[in-house]
């Protein structure tokens, strides 16, 4: 039986082209690598190399063996990855969401129902979330578009609406609502980690001028200290209806009128995981 380390060394030699280069990459001495190549040749039972003066070169047999070695090593890595994913799937519930708010709402519910599991969370656009659901990266995903894949099970998971906070003396402050296109070239303070909302704003606001902040605490301090326009949502208005930056009565909150600013979320899993998460879906559906 050919041991994996011999195939790894042959693949490195084929890739590097020289014993010295392969030995350096593998952190081996050149004589040790030479012995390994001789051992591999003996195990296969046919010549794999042309031995030239101070040089070892793969012959046609060797090139074919190196190609097979590359494939075997790829399969070896794939097997290891699949097994790790299987183990992770049995011990971790990975949640992916298109926006931070529904993810923050879901995590405590999952943690409470599945106490023996580790719960992880990430925020991505819908497309990679669906890909991740299929390849096992995620077990649960929150989307902002109704899933069309019949291999998925899903339920509605709440709604969220986008608003903008403007200074009372802003030219648009007297309106009943604002279209995103009307925010063209406006300086807007924006938290960077808002999922699909960021792509929506970039897509719908001509020539956007976002002052991006990565730290949420610093973002909050800047809101209080400045008079810059800033987005909020129905979730934050419901859970913190009188935040510090409204109390001085210097700002107004206006709804964003674009249809895309009214979002319904959907919680989805693979159909074969429906039973596993039945308690969660039952709780969410009421």
Question: What is the per-residue pLDDT across 51-109, written as a single tens digit (0 to 9) for each?
Answer: 887 788 899 998 999 999 899 888 888 887 777 767 666 778 999 999 999 999 999 99
Structural domain of 25: 4-88
Listed residue (52, 47, 78, 50) closest to 65, CA to CA: 47
Residue 152 shares a structural domain with residue 269: yes
Residue 173 shares a structural domain with residue 222: yes
Residue 57 shares a structural domain with residue 131: no
Q: What pLDDT is attached to residue 87?
A: 67
> Of 67, 88, 109, which residue is a domain's last?
88
Residue 103 shares a structural domain with residue 235: no
Overall domain count for the chain: 3
Measure the CA–CA gap between 79 and 87, rounded to whole angstroms: 12
Q: What pTM did the predictor assign?
A: 0.66
Q: What pLDDT is attached to residue 136?
A: 83
Residue 179 shares a structural domain with residue 152: no
Residue 197 shares a structural domain with residue 258: yes
Distance of CA 15 to the CA centre of its chain: 32
Q: What percent of the chain has a predicted confidence (pLDDT) above 70?
A: 94
> Of 60, 88, 116, which residue is a domain's last?
88
Tell me the pLDDT tens digit for each residue of 246-275. 545 788 999 999 999 999 999 999 999 999
CATH number reported for the structural domain that contains residue 202 in this entry: 3.40.190.10
Residue 166 shares a structural domain with residue 258: yes
Tell me the pLDDT tens digit for each residue of 126-135. 889 999 998 8
Residue 162 shares a structural domain with residue 246: yes
Give bridge partners of residue 187 from the DSSP assignment: 209
DSSP class of residue 248? Answer: T
> Of 31, 65, 88, which residue is a domain's last?
88
Contact 69, 11 (CB under 8 A): yes
Residue 129 shares a structural domain with residue 185: no
* List of residues 6+ apart from 255 with CB closer than 8 A: 161, 162, 163, 176, 177, 178, 261
Residue 84 shares a structural domain with residue 15: yes
Residue 113 shares a structural domain with residue 251: no
């Amino acid at each position: 039986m050919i041991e994996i380390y011999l195939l790894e060394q042959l693949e490195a030699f084929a890739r590097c082209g020289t014993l010295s280069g392969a030995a350096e990459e593998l952190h081996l001495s050149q004589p040790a690598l030479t012995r390994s190549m001789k051992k591999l040749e003996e195990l296969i039972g046919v010549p794999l190399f042309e031995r030239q003066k101070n040089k070892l070169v793969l012959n046609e047999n060797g090139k074919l063996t190196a190609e097979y070695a590359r494939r075997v090593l790829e399969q070896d890595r794939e097997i290891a990855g699949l097994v790790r994913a299987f183990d992770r799937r049995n011990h971790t519930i990975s949640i992916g969401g298109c926006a931070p708010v529904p993810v923050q709402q879901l995590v405590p519910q999952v943690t409470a129902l599945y106490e023996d599991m580790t719960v992880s969370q990430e925020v991505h656009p819908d497309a990679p979330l669906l890909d991740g659901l299929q390849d096992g990266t995620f077990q649960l995903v929150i989307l902002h578009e109704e899933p069309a894949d019949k291999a998925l099970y899903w339920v509605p998971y709440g709604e969220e609406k986008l608003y903008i906070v403007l200074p009372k003396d802003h030219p648009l402050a007297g309106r009943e609502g604002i279209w995103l296109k009307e925010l063209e070239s406006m300086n807007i303070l924006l938290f960077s980690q808002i999922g699909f909302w960021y792509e929506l704003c970039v897509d719908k606001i001509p020539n956007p001028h976002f002052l991006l902040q990565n730290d949420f605490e610093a973002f909050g301090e800047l809101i209080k200290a400045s008079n810059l326009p800033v987005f909020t949502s129905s979730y934050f208005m419901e859970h913190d209806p009188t935040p510090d930056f409204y109390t001085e009565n210097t700002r107004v909150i206006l709804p964003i009128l674009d249809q895309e600013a009214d979002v319904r979320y959907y919680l989805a899993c693979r159909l074969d995981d429906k039973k596993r998460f039945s308690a969660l879906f039952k709780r969410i559906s009421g």
